[in-house]
């Protein structure tokens, strides 16, 4: 198939999923066209069967807000026509589904069919889509899509309930490439000394440091752990809460135990170095960062929110707590890190969960089948 993919190409789980999906589909022989405002950060530009089309947005002085959604719709239609795309797959509803809808209409005036699929990721529904000014247009984009997928059952149900959407929504969960995200002992032996001494436990957090991720809770939990045992923390990512996290770390006197690593491209090199991941988010529709860690044999201490329980089975392959309960999460981290046998068992189970349920090799065929269903339906 010839598939156009649109996403937010910068840091964030929806862009990661879209990019990894494109890479996996291209490896399976499909022709993939990324249509975005900059090259998705996990693409090297050298992958076979993948082309990248930048969306230029002209900044005429009259435009206080340059109309990106219109520029995107135009580029989608141009690429679809030039490369005879079979369909568009947009990630994150706002504004991508509405741009795709315009592109489909433009193509229809030329007698060509261009169905589009919208994948819902999270805050496009739970936060942004519920803003009164975005709600009607988001619902319209979802209703008009030829296919809609959600990354968890939670998000599917939440979309139906909050938006009053009655149409079918296919649940296609997030995935991870279990060959790329894995724990290679020689790699760990070589790299881990850069981040922790042999007697120190190594914790990790990975996010875009937005308030919903509760990075300050990560520091709070780590402060409790660092009081009890030699430990270090890798903070991977960047965003609005980073300087507040730095200040809190200084206040606790643990700044020298935290590696603020900023945005990193190859998180698969860093995650397997850790013993434990912290993901104390206010909300996660799925929790891709925890899945990536699990594939690397790193279990998570997380919050019991949104779609997280569809990934983490409390007490089996990770631990779940109420939002904000940093005392309980800190104590659980101390207990788990202090019990090598239990930690090892949880690490193995976490890896097995990733392999058995969320590997790319299982999830990508689900997308392919869904693409075919949508194509067949739109060809009538």
Q: What share of the chain is helix, strand, coil (3-state, %, to 5)?
A: 50, 15, 35
Per CB under 6 A, the list member of 4, 9, 13, 272 interacting with ligand GMT is 13
Q: 196 with 181: CB under 8 angstroms?
A: no
Residue 12 is a binding residue for ligand GMT (CB under 6 A)? yes
Residue 285 is a binding residue for ligand GMT (CB under 6 A)? yes
According to DSSP, the β-strands at 231-236 and 116-120 are unpaired
Residue 286 is a binding residue for ligand GMT (CB under 6 A)? yes
Residue 278's CB is within 10 A of a number of other CB atoms, namely 32
Residues 257-276 interacting with ligand GMT (rule: CB under 6 A): none
Residue 172 is a binding residue for ligand GMT (CB under 6 A)? no
Cα first-last separation, the chain: 18
Nearer to ligand GMT, 138 or 174 (CB): 174
Residues 45-104 interacting with ligand GMT (rule: CB under 6 A): none
Residues 294-313 interacting with ligand GMT (rule: CB under 6 A): 306
Nearer to ligand GMT, 98 or 212 (CB): 212
Q: Quote the least distance from Cβ 284 to ligand GMT, whole Å.
A: 4
> Which one of the spans 31-39, 253-261, 285-293, 359-367 is the region binding ligand GMT (CB under 6 A)?
285-293
Residues 187-216 interacting with ligand GMT (rule: CB under 6 A): 212
Q: What is the strand order of the sheet 116-120 is part of?
A: 50-54, 31-36, 2-6, 87-91, 116-120, 147-150, 170-171
State how far Cα 375 lies from the chain centre.
26
Nearer to ligand GMT, 182 or 303 (CB): 303
How far is residue 309's CA from residue 172's CA, in Å, rounded to a whole number?
Answer: 16
Q: Quote the least distance from Cβ 338 to ligand GMT, whole Å.
A: 29
Residues 96-135 interacting with ligand GMT (rule: CB under 6 A): 121-123
Nearer to ligand GMT, 239 or 342 (CB): 239
> Any residues with CB less than 8 A from the CB of 18 and at least 6 apart, and which?
5, 6, 7, 40, 89, 91, 119
SS3 168: coil
How far is residue 278's CA from residue 203's CA, in Å, rounded to a whole number?
Answer: 7
**Which residues contact ligand GMT by CB under 6 A?**
12-15, 17, 121-123, 151, 174, 212, 283-288, 306
């Amino acid at each position: 198939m010839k598939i156009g993919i649109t996403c937010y190409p910068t840091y964030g789980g929806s862009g990661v999923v879209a990019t990894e999906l494109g890479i996996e589909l291209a490896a399976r022989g499909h022709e993939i066209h990324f249509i975005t405002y900059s090259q998705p950060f996990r693409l090297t530009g050298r992958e076979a069967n993948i082309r990248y089309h930048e969306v230029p947005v002209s900044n005429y002085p009259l435009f206080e807000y340059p109309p990106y959604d219109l520029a995107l719709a135009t580029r989608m239609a141009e690429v679809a026509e030039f490369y005879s795309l079979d369909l568009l797959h947009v990630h994150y509803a706002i504004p991508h589904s509405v741009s795709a809808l315009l592109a489909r209409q433009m193509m229809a005036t030329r007698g060509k069919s261009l169905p589009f699929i919208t994948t819902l990721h999270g805050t496009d529904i739970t936060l942004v889509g519920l803003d009164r000014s975005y709600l009607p247009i988001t619902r319209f984009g979802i209703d008009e899509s030829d296919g809609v997928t959600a990354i968890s059952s939670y998000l599917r149900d939440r979309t139906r309930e909050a938006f009053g959407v009655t149409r079918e929504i296919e649940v296609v969960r997030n995935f991870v490439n279990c060959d790329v995200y894995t724990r290679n002992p020689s790699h760990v032996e070589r790299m881990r000394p850069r981040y922790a001494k042999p007697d120190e436990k190594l914790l990790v957090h990975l996010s875009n440091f937005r308030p919903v991720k509760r990075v300050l809770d990560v520091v709070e939990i780590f402060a409790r752990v660092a009081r009890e045992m030699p430990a270090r923390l890798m903070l991977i990512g960047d965003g609005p809460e980073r300087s507040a996290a730095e200040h809190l770390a200084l206040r606790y006197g643990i700044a020298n135990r935290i590696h603020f690593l900023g945005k990193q491209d190859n998180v698969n090199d860093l995650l397997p170095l850790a013993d434990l991941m912290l993901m104390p988010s206010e909300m996660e529709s799925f929790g891709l960062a925890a899945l990536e860690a699990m594939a690397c044999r790193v279990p998570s201490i997380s919050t019991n929110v949104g779609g997280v329980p569809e990934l983490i089975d409390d007490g089996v392959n990770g631990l779940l707590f109420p939002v904000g309960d940093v005392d309980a999460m800190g104590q659980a981290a101390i207990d788990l890190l202090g019990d090598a046998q239990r930690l090892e068992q949880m690490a193995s189970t976490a890896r097995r969960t990733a392999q058995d349920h969320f590997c790319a090799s299982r999830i990508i065929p689900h997308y392919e089948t869904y693409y075919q269903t949508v194509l067949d339906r739109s060809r009538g």
